A and B are shown apart, each in its own frame.
Chain A
């Protein structure tokens, strides 16, 4: 990690996730071997925080950019970090096909069920009845459909070697999340195939909640719709 103070809003758990990734990179001793790919969204400035080679991708295309990097440097560690809008809406094709190809990259998917950077619009993972600026009366499933369960979708693909959903709403879950992130990197280091970790995260600012209530909202509303656990761990992983 660099010494730069993070730009995230007070109470947002994005910073925790960035720190976990930094810790895993250090523990695996791969800082000089790693090339990261950043998204468009709240994590757009993550190149300021991880002290590794870095590509800033266009919105949703990080898995394609990571593919280009990995094909040129098959022995380096290449990973992306993307939000829900980036990976599960505009970048749906890129993530599904990177997984289907068994691309030996790691994608970290931060799901806070809202577009944070643009000011709180409805995301592909916004829960039914959740209020956002573009679903002001709550997401109406009759009109706007249902949240995308990306990790479940990717689990059925043969190219996916490992995918899991974790959360960072309390210390026990933060430790679990770190284990999953580490495992995803190890899957790549062992050249097993594609790996992804979906991380449930809070957005106090755009949910309109104080940080502690935001943690509780995640627990009460997101965990039931987005169950935690390993969805795929291929043989030998």
Chain B
């Protein structure tokens, strides 16, 4: 298949089908409606099932049932709907069920609005539901990457028996770009001897997150922790752009990373050595490249469509070695290249003395 022009939402849906996803349960919410609409048309063509649930709560629990039954399954929503799914996500993580959850994030809190936002970062990466669990989270920055990472998400979900989230936003979901689907062959879906499909000739399978004896739940949580540690050591992904010789490193993911890339280009044209480190996995967060850059860069600027969430992970990675500034627009407002570039210049103009003062203040 050559390149096709597609909306981000549609690319996610098509990639899911190519990944072998045959079940989709969802509920309408803007700006992700093209995903369930695409699935409603396409899944019956490939022998799959699309079902519009009565709520996001029901949708994620249908995902729980289908995932436990051994199927590749997906749901998608946006901010408020993802909040409703959190209980189900916690149960999925607890019962170690693989599935893919898409959040085309919108402005919040509350009903907020339908404009693009990155203010669901904490919810996605910190475990929005209850309990001691982690979820793999991808932060794609283009329609191509939405497709590639959706394919990857299904493989990782099965590999680790864990929910995986694609965290996009209203821009990524709605914009059209050329995309090439890098798989034509049928995906190999691993055997799932733990799944429920009728206990014929074997011992029965039990899908549960209930461990009523504290020592048993502790054992289960420690087993999960070992799995999360393995994911952390193997699955961190990032993309660096002129980071090696940069005096200022921009940190941004998704839509804002695209804008920051243009900022780096403009800055370099003006003789400013700017660079960008873009996390592709938001959990596990790729801390090593930031840590390394802290040895050579003078300062960092985290740019987000929020009041500052990912900056916490950048701070943990840089660990007080260099000052980290923040620029963000929130409520569905997208920061412009000019605004960010102005911020870059402001930071560089402050100079070494001001940076030292900043660090003293923050490291006390």
Contact = CB atoms under 8 A, between A and B. Distances in A.
Contacts of B54: 93-94, 96-97
Contacts of B57: 61, 64, 93-94
B43 to A, nearest CB: 11
Contacts of B70: 72
B252 to A, nearest CB: 36
A67 B50 CA distance: 12
Interface in B174-213: 196-201, 204-210
Contacts of A67: 51, 58, 62, 65
A53 B204 contact: yes
Contacts of B198: 32-35, 53, 73, 76
A66 interface: yes
Contacts of B87: 58
B191 to A, nearest CB: 16
B305 interface: no
A58 B91 contact: yes
Contacts of A32: 198-201
A158 to B, nearest CB: 16
Contact of A71 (B51, B59, B91, B204): B51
Interface string B80-122: 0000000110010001000000000000000000000000000
8 contacts: A31-B199, A56-B210, A65-B68, A68-B62, A68-B69, A69-B196, A72-B66, A97-B58
A44 B62 contact: no
A51 interface: yes
Given A54-B206, A56-B210, A68 B196 contact: no
A2 to B, nearest CB: 9
Given A35-B69, A68-B69, A55 B197 contact: no
A52 interface: yes
Given A53-B196, A53-B197, A68-B63, 11 more contacts: A35-B69, A35-B198, A53-B198, A55-B65, A55-B196, A56-B207, A66-B65, A70-B65, A71-B65, A73-B197, A94-B57
A33 B198 CA distance: 5
Nearest to A93: B54
Interface string B149-163: 000000000000000
Chain B: interface size category:
35 or more
B314 interface: no
Interface of B: 23, 25, 49, 51, 53-55, 57-59, 61-71, 73, 87-88, 91, 95, 196-201, 204-210
B63 A52 contact: no
Contacts of B55: 93
A61 B196 contact: no
B204 A68 contact: no
Contacts of B199: 31-32, 51-53
B205 A68 contact: no
A203 interface: no
Contact of B61 (A35, A53, A58, A76): A58
Nearest to A65: B65
B344 to A, nearest CB: 47
Contact of A61 (B51, B58, B95): B58
Contacts of A61: 57-58, 61, 64, 88
A68 B207 contact: no
A61 B53 CA distance: 12
Given A65-B64, A69-B65, A71-B62, A53 B205 contact: yes
Nearest to B201: A32
Contacts of A93: 54-55, 57-58
A68 B200 contact: no
Contacts of B205: 53-54
